[in-house]
Structure 1
Amino acid sequence: MSNKEKQDLNELIKKYDNFINITLRPSLKKELDERDHIFDTISEYQKLYSQIELIQENKLNELKTMVDLGSQFYAQAHIPDTTYIYVHTGFGFHVQFTLDEAKTFIKKKEQQLQKLADKHTQEADKIKAHIKMALEAISEILVTSS
């Protein structure tokens, strides 16, 4: 094999390597991060759903609780009436629901978020397949150049 051919093969390997490390891996990380954020949101809705069920099962008309103000900083709160609840519906909006309406909304929101998470999972799987294919191409180049 001539030096020119070896140089061409090295250039081809570098192109594949750059494609994997500069394009595919960051895209994979982005998809997985977005999916994880969606799973965190689903988890928050599930916690809210269980809290609503707890309020309904125990027929609590008022409630004393700890509220997360952010960064794991909690403050004590007294809720004098549990008839209505405000739920974050997205895009900065909070809607007042009855407890049953909130449970219905949460179930629908969970389904919608799960579909979105599934899309990100499928996209991540495609990117992983592209990475595997590029790595196999590199190994094939190395085998043929030996």
Structure 2
Amino acid sequence: MEVDLQQKITRYEKFVNEGLRKDLKEALDSRDAVYDQISDYLKLAKDIEVIKSNGLTEMKTQVDLGSNFYVQAKIPDTKHIFVNVGFGFHAELTLDEALTFITKKEAFLQKKADMYTKKAAQIRAHIKMVLQAMAEIMKLSKEPLPRNLDLL
């Protein structure tokens, strides 16, 4: 009977470590990626506000070509910008259209992040429940069997 309980505890440990903890990490990583997207859109909205408030019609900036390799770029007309709308597509928008899009996109991404947060909380609750069940099994296995169960 003791060997059977040890096997059950081992299976539960494997389930927690290889299943639930992996799922929790994936949910938290996905949520963090969504938060990174939100941060990028909010940064863009701030930049648009600076362009609008200062009345900039042209500007110089640095563009990341990848791997933190930046080049200097000149923007001759700031009336329109290209905004990443998802799935690798970019749309040319006016500054006001871009701000409207960013507001909607940020709200959408926040709902997505909230979903991942909720999923992570559920996984944490499952982990806690399994660990409590394991503790109960271990606690019960250390106690002698009641007299009425000895007959079984």
Counterpart of 1:35, as a letter, is: R
The structure 2 residue matched to 1:28, chosen from 8, 12, 24, is 24
Q: Report deviation, 1:70.
A: 1.6
Taking the aligned partners of 1:13 and 1:64, their CA distance within structure 2 comes to 63
Q: Is residue 2:7 matched to residue 1:8?
A: no
State the partner residue of 2:86: 90
Q: Which amino acid aligns with 2:26?
A: K
Q: Larger Cα Rg: Structure 1 or Structure 2?
A: 2
**How many angstroms apart in 2 are the aligned matches of 1:142 and 1:40?**
43
1:99 — aligned with what?
Answer: 95
Distance 1:143 1:73 in 2: 59
Q: Deviations over 1:26-78 (max 9, x none)?
A: 10010000000000000000000000000000000001011111222111000
Q: Residues of 2 paired with 1:111 and 1:104: CA distance?
A: 11
d(CA) in 2 for partners of 1:77, 1:53: 20
Aligned CA RMSD, in angstroms, stands at: 0.6
Task: For structure 2, list consecutive stretches of 5 or more residues without a partner in the other structure.
Answer: 143-152
Matched position secondary structure for 1:76: strand
| Secondary structure in 1 matching 2:65 | strand
| Structure 1 moving runs of 4+ over 2 Å | none
In structure 2, distance between residues paired with 1:59 and 1:145? 75
Q: Which moved more, 1:68-77 or 1:123-132?
A: 68-77
Identity value in percent: 54
Counterpart in 1 of 2:138? 142
**2:113 is matched with which residue?**
117
* TM-aligned CA deviation for residue 22 of structure 1: 1.2
Q: Does residue 18 of the first structure (1) align with residue 14 of the second (2)?
A: yes
1:131 to 127, 133, 137: 127
* Counterpart code for 2:21: R
Aligned partner of residue 70 in structure 1, secondary structure = coil
- CA drift at 1:124: 0.4
Q: Deviations over 1:110-144 (max 9, x none)?
A: 00000000000000000000000011011111111
Structure-1-length-normalised TM-score: 0.96
**Unmatched 5+ stretches in structure 1:** none
Q: Matched residue pairs, number? A: 142
